[in-house]
Amino acid sequence: MTARLSALLVLATTAVAAYGQVPGRLRHEGSELFRFALHQHKIEPLTDPDQAMHDPPGSIIVVVGQVGQLNDLLTGGMIKSYLENGGAILIATDGPSPPPGTFGDWAQRYGIWIAGKPLTADAQNCYKRHPGRPFVRPLPRVERVGPSPFDLFAGVTENGPAAVATDYPSEMTIDVRPLGGKYLVKYLARYPVGTRRMIDNVPLDPDRTYFAISIEPQFADTRGRMIVLADQGVFFNGMMGFVKDDNDPRGYHFDNGNWGFTNRTIEWLQGGDRKPRTRCLFVEDGRVIDQFAATVPNTGKSPIPRLPPDVLANGVLNAMNPVIDAAQDRNFFNRMVESWLGFPRIVRIFVLTATILFLLACLRRLIGGRRRPEPAAVMTPQVQAGLLPRGGVLRQRTAAQIEVGNLYDAARRRVRERFDVLGGRPGREGQIPPVLTANDLPDGPVLHHSIRWLWALGYGVTPIRIPPADWDRTNVLLERVTARAARGDWSFGQEA
């Protein structure tokens, strides 16, 4: 058992920073270590909720992860009946739980609401000073003797290697009114002082800072017990606190108290000193997990591991890399080739190979050129018809201007059509004729500037770019200037 634990924990030490599945590593968010702890406590997996419902005193229900659709698998009525008939339940989720009032849901029956909004705390109160991973703060034990759910936090400190670390937990509230005095509720742990929501940095109200609570039937003669945690990340592989340590006889040490908290939680759910529960329905994100650990028969010989081809290949390459580097340093490969072939023969083989490849490339190009069809020969009549010009010359020119994004020619023609009617004729050297404006015009300079710009567009030597987006504005300006000429605000004069 110890050897198998050590092997699994070596994998876990590489999972702390791994957020994707990598061959040979455990996922940070996975539950393999938690399920291995169940296996260590000789707990067997169940495959169907009915198996747990038929044997509450001998089984455990563990729910981790999403609970929004848990009602499809385990209704609130099933959980209530299971608990009151001696079942043990653990629900670890950062939510969100269904809103209050959801018919038949476990959270509605017990007045529990988990918001689903991640929390953070000051750096000194977070695991590895990582925001979003606050430590928990155990609350004082209310019982003096005997087994108690407060045993989950026995020896847990608020900081350091014995502290329990969360991973983006949520706020949790509980309304005891739906319980009707039939259940005993114990508040086991809170978050550190100053814990706040990450989304808006608002501190939590005191009644929302609970991390762990326990619920037990108060009058039923059973051992029914229920633990609710506002975070499933406390049981993640990457949060178990294993750190590889060659100086420790085990090969690792702990930098938090999550592994101990996991085992104490399982022991409390098993039932303490009485006949322990030996079967567990494990539900992760709404899916039943029916395998906790794979056992290897003890044959007295070291088993040959069945490694995937890529893992085996990586192992061989990692083992051979130092040997290959040493051979390269001694120029082993070059000397071996020269001893087999000799340098002159190597040169002749290279020249012959290059010549053959060159001739093959030339032959392929020659054959391809002879067989290349004329473009017109492979065009269908519809394609050829599409290439023919459509409409008159003016329409084709306008379409070409739109395609290139410049309507200068069309704008130039329109200006000339309007100004020619107004008597606008270029001077001997192509200059604009005199522009006569009324003396009482308040916008005379602006009008004069507009006329000159339009004249440069219609008669100027240098083209003016008219994008399609400016076409309407240019036409509006031209029509406005022409209308004011009709009202007598301005006119073209005659050169002396």
Residue with the larger pLDDT of the pair 461 and 77: 77
pLDDT at residue 9 tops 50: yes
pLDDT at residue 62 tops 90: yes
Mean pLDDT, rounded, for 109-125 = 90
pLDDT at residue 2 tops 60: no
pLDDT at residue 10 tops 80: no
The tens digit of pLDDT for each residue in 422-437 reads: 887 787 777 888 888 8
Q: Among residues of the chain, what percentage have pLDDT more than 90?
A: 33
CA dist 24 and 18 (Å) reads 11
Give the containing element (helix H, strand E) for 89.
strand 88-92
Neighbours of 446 (CB within 10 A): 10
What is the reported pLDDT for 20?
42
What is the reported pLDDT for 218?
83
Mean pLDDT (the chain, rounded): 81
Q: What are the residue ranges spanned by the domains of the chain?
A: 2-295, 397-492
What pLDDT band is residue 315 in, cutting at 50, 70 and 90?
low
What is the reported pLDDT for 90?
96
Q: Verify cis geometry, omega within 30 degrees of 0, for the bond prior to 467.
A: no
- Whether this prediction's pTM lies above 0.75 is answered by no
The tens digit of pLDDT for each residue in 447-458 reads: 888 888 888 888
Strands (E), 218-374: 225-229, 242-244, 252-254, 279-284, 287-289
Mean pLDDT, rounded, for 225-231 = 95
CA dist 282 and 289 (Å) reads 6
Burial environment of residue 118 by CB neighbours within 10 A (0 to 12, 13 to 18, 19 or more): buried
Beta carbons within 8 Å of 66's beta carbon, 6+ residues apart: 93, 285, 286
What is the reported pLDDT for 256?
93
Q: Could you tell me the two tokens for 458?
A: 């219609």
What pLDDT band is residue 100 in, cutting at 50, 70 and 90?
low
Q: Are 260 and 243 in contact (CB under 8 A)?
A: no
Give SS3 for 243.
strand
Q: What are phi and psi of 196, to 5 degrees?
A: -145, 165
Sign of the C-alpha dihedral computed for residues 451, 457, 459 and 462 taken in this order: positive
